[in-house]
DNA sequence: TAAAAGTATACTAGTACTATAGACTTTATA
DNA sequence: TATAAAGTCTATAGTACTAGTATACTTTTA
């Protein structure tokens, strides 16, 4: 049940972009280099990932000097589920329970397949979290934890 | 978030072995060939999978003529989580939230890493289902569905 | 017009996945 | 006691995927 590096890096980058800049509440524009440095990700690899996210409509970019990437929508309108699916594909552990990419899995009778029933529960549990957690939720939670620990 | 074929086949096989035989309530002994035929799995591949499950202590076997595989414990003492972990490894989507195979994931500060907090929720949701669903639960649910649909 | 920054593809080394093959061991039974 | 049925064990092969590099190109600003 693994999140790929692409997925991990993409999620980290999106969270970084969702963090409000110091003193300001506006989401920031950041450059590949900035993010790659801060999150310790190979800049060339990150480049690909951000491009994918951009082509999927989750990021916008500005080319040229002083350019960079920024969120296409506000942080509370982008969910972890959206990002995950772009980079890592369907959430479902097995195709026959996928909402976004259903395919029969070859069991004799799908309706009564016990594995399918159980995996369907798993899919729903994962999707429930990922689709109901926005980037804003994540950054909010981060700063709550920081405050509680007295950090920064 | 995918279940591998090994995991899928292994789970299917274990469920098949947990289904009580006709008229009897005792869990059955089945041969590789039987299971592979019934579940449409390459017998040689299934062989490996069952061996792994046996070496992990979830199955017992009888060699020689009239031999086969049978569950090492009763169906309500074997959970989907146990089977999953043997065949597909840790449940956690990212190593830094794994209970069974923790490893740092390289974020600057683990305590306040937003991705980690979210993925921890996901891990717990998956583990909660997998570790609290026994083979007996699965077969019970299967037969309930069958009854409701008036099948068999 | 030069440099900064994103865009787009192609490529590659390594690893994991999904099997397949073959030789070996154990057991029942004719 | 020989034979066949059945599990055991290890090696290997083809393919796909992963993670990352490389390179050439376009856009924008100063």
C2: residue with closest CA to C1': A65
From the Cβ of A65, is strand C under 7 Å away?
A: yes
Residue B9's beta-bridge partner residues?
A: none
User: CA(A65)–C1'(C2) in Å?
Assistant: 11
Q: Establish if A74 belongs to a structural domain.
A: yes
Which pLDDT tens digit goes with each residue over B50-66?
Answer: 999 999 999 999 999 99
From the Cβ of B67, is strand C under 7 Å away?
A: yes
B115 touches chain A (CB under 8 A): yes
By CB neighbour count within 10 A (0-12 exposed, 13-18 middle, 19+ buried), where does B121 fall?
Answer: middle
Which pLDDT tens digit goes with each residue over B34-43?
Answer: 999 999 999 9
State how far the Cα of B57 lies from the Cα of B114, in Å rounded to an integer. Answer: 38
Angle between helices B114-131 and A5-18 (to 10 degrees): 130
List the domain range (segments joined by +) for residue B70.
1-78
Lowest mean pLDDT among A24-28, A62-66, B111-115, B138-142: A24-28
User: CA(B120)–C1'(C22) in Å?
Assistant: 45
> What is the count of structural domains for chain B?
1
Task: Indicate the pLDDT class of residue B106, thresholds 50, 70 and 90.
Answer: confident
**H or E element: which one contains A146?**
helix A135-149
CB contact under 8 A, A126 and B1: yes
pLDDT at A141: 96
Which pLDDT tens digit goes with each residue over A1-38?
Answer: 899 999 999 999 999 999 976 556 666 899 999 999 99
User: CA(B104)–C1'(D28) in Å?
Assistant: 41
Q: Establish if A151 belongs to a structural domain.
A: no
From the Cβ of A51, is strand C under 7 Å away?
A: yes
More confident residue, A70 or A100: A70
Work out the percent of chain B whose per-residue pLDDT is above 90.
85
Q: Establish if B144 belongs to a structural domain.
A: no
State how far the Cα of A69 lies from the Cα of A65, in Å rounded to an integer. Answer: 12
pLDDT at B108: 76
Q: Establish if B129 belongs to a structural domain.
A: no
Report the CATH number that the domain containing residue A62 is assigned in CATH: 1.10.10.10
Q: State the nearest Cα–Cα gap between B94 and chain A, in angstroms.
A: 6
Q: Establish if B128 belongs to a structural domain.
A: no
Q: Establish if A152 belongs to a structural domain.
A: no
Q: Establish if B43 belongs to a structural domain.
A: yes
B1, B113, B139: residue with CB nearest A93: B1
A3, A107, A149: residue with CB nearest B93: A3
A39, A114, A141: residue with CB nearest B15: A114
pLDDT at B23: 53
A148 touches chain B (CB under 8 A): no
Cα A15 off chain centre by: 8
Q: Establish if B97 belongs to a structural domain.
A: no
């Amino acid at each position: 049940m693994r999140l790929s590096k692409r997925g991990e890096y993409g999620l980290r980058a999106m969270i970084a972009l969702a963090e409000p800049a110091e003193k300001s509440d506006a989401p920031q524009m950041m450059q590949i280099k900035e993010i790659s440095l801060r999150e310790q990700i190979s800049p060339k690899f990150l480049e690909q990932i951000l491009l994918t996210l951009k082509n999927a409509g989750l990021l916008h970019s500005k080319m040229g000097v002083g350019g960079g990437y920024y969120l296409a929508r506000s942080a509370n309108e982008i969910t972890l589920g959206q990002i995950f699916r772009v980079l890592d594909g369907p959430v479902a552990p097995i195709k026959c329970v996928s909402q976004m990419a259903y395919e029969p899995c070859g069991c004799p009778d799908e309706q009564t397949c016990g594995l399918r029933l159980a995996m369907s529960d798993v899919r729903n549990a994962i999707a429930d979290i990922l689709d109901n957690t926005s980037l804003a939720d994540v950054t909010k939670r981060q700063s709550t934890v920081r405050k509680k620990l007295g950090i920064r």
